[in-house]
Amino acid sequence: MIEFEDVRIAYKDKPVLDGVSLTIHDREFFVLIGSSGCGKTTLLKSINKLLPLRGGSLSIDGIPVEQIKVQDLPKKVGYVVQSGGLFPHLTVEENIALTMQIARFSKEAIRDRVDKMLKMVNLDPEIYRGQYPSQLSGGQQQRVGIARAFAANPPIVLMDEPFSALDPMTRAELQNEIHDLQTKAQKTVVFVTHDMDEAIKLADRICIIQDGKVAQCDTPENILKHPANQYVTEFIGANRLWANPEYIRAADIMRRRPFTISKGRTVIQALQIMRHNSVDSLLVLDKGQTLLGVVWLEELIGKREADPIEYYISDDYIAVEGETSLKEIIATIDYDVSGIIPVIQHDRKLLGYLTKSIILATMSKQFVPEHTAGERSGVICPATL
Ligand SMILES: Nc1ncnc2c1ncn2[C@@H]1O[C@H](COP(=O)(O)OP(=O)(O)OP(=O)(O)O)[C@@H](O)[C@H]1O
Ligand SMILES: [Mg+2]
């Protein structure tokens, strides 16, 4: 666990971190984001003991960083520095070996681990071990930087914009690899980025820094749904929530008060409620508001009017739980599903309902500025006409 308590850091008289308090948990993928110059690199460097504190305290597993010996640091913390940071006059093997030499690994252990680390980042040791950084592509250099950070097997790995200089395909590939690596190796990763999409994709929690202070620190879902201030709102950008359907839950977009009927009522009563409200289905509830099923108009037509509707409850419907994400709902519903999708709790108590048009309206919010949605009526012509 890494704990910052009211940490202050300054370059000469210029304050850079201005009272930062936060806790980074073990095995967490923790992403730092914020505009250029806000203090992200400074925050990472402070964990790696590269900058003295002007105030507050910073500890790793309860030990203040100033008490950790320099030669013990590589066993605790690995660091992928901003823009690669490989030593150009050292080979790939020598670059990776550095941290292990500081940590006093034996020669044999170093040789073994260099090969293991290269394989881990998908570089063939036979080909790359003896090459110099200038002989590698940007993506390969980043991989070596990551291999070096993991080499002494530290539980914590700091990564400062490791993918910023890469093309989108290599970047996506490395994002997936680092995510797998972090999960498999059970590391605590503190990862700096400028890119909100990258943050959302990778983070367990995102910490947004504003002028050397923590503006908000929370899960991607909570930050998207409840930005703490105007800076965070602007930083995450308009409509980003709607572009991430895994963070939109059924309960967020459902309508309340669907048309319902209790199970003891009759076919004629059901037909009357349907006609009166112009709907073709009703949700059937027991006394405790538990969902029993749906009755459809077409099933009731021609049936004995005095029959209890219980006879005609259909299980031909899909219900979703309030916590189900829009992404899961879209994956589950059939293209030809029509009518109502009840939203229920774990215990099947009814919460509300969705329809395909509600889902479509939600999805389309990512393409339409909020203030224009739903304002028009009549015929909409293409803009070029
Ligand atoms: N060695 C230094 N001497 C003086 N000022 C510095 C030094 N390093 C950084 N700063 C200043 O401290 C502030 C924070 O810098 P830092 O590198 O932590 O920002 P950052 O959030 O990592 O920015 P970027 O996104 O551009 O990498 C900046 O205003 C920067 O100019
Ligand atoms: Mg930086």
DSSP line for 17-72: EEEEEEEE-TT-EEEEE-STTSSHHHHHHHHTT-S--SEEEEEETTEEGGGS-GGG
| CATH for the 251-364 domain, from 3.10.580.10, 3.40.50.1000, 3.40.50.11690, 1.10.640.10 | 3.10.580.10
| Ligand 1 pocket, mutate which of 14, 18, 42 (most atoms under 8 A from CB) | 42
For the CA of 32, the nearest ligand: 1
Which among 49, 67, 65 has a CA at the least distance from the CA of 57?
65
Name 138's Cβ contacts closer than 8 Å, sequence gap at least 6: 84, 165, 166, 170
Q: How many CB atoms lie within 10 A of CB 109?
A: 12
> Which residue is closest in CA terms to ligand 1's atom 20?
37
pLDDT higher for 333 or 12?
A: 12
Quick check: helix, strand or coil at residue 198? Answer: helix
Question: Which atom, in ligand 1's list, is nearest to the CA of 161?
Answer: 27
Question: Which atom, in ligand 1's list, is nearest to the CA of 82?
Answer: 27
- Give the phi and the psi of residue 282 in degrees, each rounded to 5: -135, 145
> Which residue is closest in CA terms to ligand 1's atom 3?
11
Overall average pLDDT of the 304-324 stretch: 90
Report the share of the chain in percent with pLDDT over 70. 92
DSSP bridge partners of 281: 296
CB 165 within 8 A of CB 194: no
Confidence (pLDDT) at 195: 87
> Which residue is closest in CA terms to ligand 1's atom 24?
36
Q: For 17-47, what is each residue's pLDDT tens digit? A: 999 999 999 999 999 999 889 999 999 999 9
CA separation for the pair 181, 140 (Å, rounded): 16
Distance from Cα 246 to the centre of ligand 2, integer Å: 30
Q: Kindly state the DSSP code that residue 255 receives in the 8-state scheme.
A: B
Question: Which atom, in ligand 1's list, is nearest to the CA of 42?
Answer: 18
Name 211's Cβ contacts closer than 8 Å, sequence gap at least 6: 18, 38, 39
**Per-residue pLDDT band at 58 (split at 50, 70, 90):** very high
**Per-residue pLDDT band at 364 (split at 50, 70, 90):** confident
Least confident span in 87-101, 238-252, 272-286, 361-375? 361-375
Which residues contact ligand 1 via a Cβ below 6 A? 11, 16, 34, 36-42, 82
pLDDT higher for 64 or 139?
A: 64
∠ CA 358-250-261, rounded to 5° = 75
pLDDT exceeds cutoff 90 at 352: yes
Distance from Cα 163 to the centre of ligand 2, integer Å: 13
Distance from Cα 40 to the centre of ligand 1, integer Å: 8
Confidence (pLDDT) at 234: 86
Distance from Cα 308 to the centre of ligand 1, integer Å: 73
Question: Which atom, in ligand 1's list, is nearest to the CA of 35?
Answer: 25
Least confident span in 51-55, 309-313, 339-343? 339-343
- Distance (Å) of CA 87 to CA 29, 97, 98, 213: 27, 12, 10, 33
CA separation for the pair 157, 48 (Å, rounded): 10
Which among 323, 312, 317, 315 has a CA at the least distance from the CA of 342?
317
Confidence (pLDDT) at 367: 62
For the CA of 43, the nearest ligand: 1
Please provide the average confidence, as pLDDT, over all residues in the chain: 88
Distance from Cα 42 to the centre of ligand 1, integer Å: 7
Question: Which atom, in ligand 1's list, is nearest to the CA of 44?
Answer: 18
Confidence (pLDDT) at 366: 66
Least confident span in 52-66, 218-232, 341-355, 362-376? 362-376
Residue type, 60: I
For the CA of 45, the nearest ligand: 1
Helical (H) or strand (E) element with 77: strand 77-80
251-364 and 2-247 share a CATH fold: no
Confidence (pLDDT) at 309: 93
Distance from Cα 140 to the centre of ligand 1, integer Å: 27
Question: Which atom, in ligand 1's list, is nearest to the CA of 39?
Answer: 18
Confidence (pLDDT) at 369: 56
Q: For 110-165, what is each residue's pLDDT tens digit? A: 999 999 999 988 899 999 999 999 999 888 898 899 899 989 889 999 999 988 77
Confidence (pLDDT) at 189: 96
For the CA of 16, the nearest ligand: 1
Overall average pLDDT of the 238-242 stretch: 74
For the CA of 33, the nearest ligand: 1
CB 207 within 8 A of CB 40: no
Sketch the domain layout of the chain as residue ranges: 2-247, 251-364
- Token pair listed for 105: 């690994």
Confidence (pLDDT) at 82: 75
Distance from Cα 25 to the centre of ligand 1, integer Å: 25
Distance from Cα 4 to the centre of ligand 1, integer Å: 19
pLDDT exceeds cutoff 50 at 385: no
Which CATH fold would you assign to the domain 2-247? Rossmann fold (3.40.50)
CA separation for the pair 273, 348 (Å, rounded): 23
- Distance (Å) of CA 203 to CA 32, 101, 175, 195: 9, 31, 11, 12
| Ligand 1 pocket, mutate which of 41, 47, 160, 193 (most atoms under 8 A from CB) | 41
CA separation for the pair 57, 95 (Å, rounded): 32
Overall average pLDDT of the 349-377 stretch: 72
Distance from Cα 290 to the centre of ligand 1, integer Å: 58
Confidence (pLDDT) at 307: 93
Name 78's Cβ contacts closer than 8 Å, sequence gap at least 6: 99, 148, 149, 150, 151, 152, 154, 156, 157, 158
Which among 267, 345, 280 has a CA at the least distance from the CA of 312?
267
Q: For 258-296, what is each residue's pLDDT tens digit? A: 899 999 899 999 999 999 888 889 999 998 899 999 999
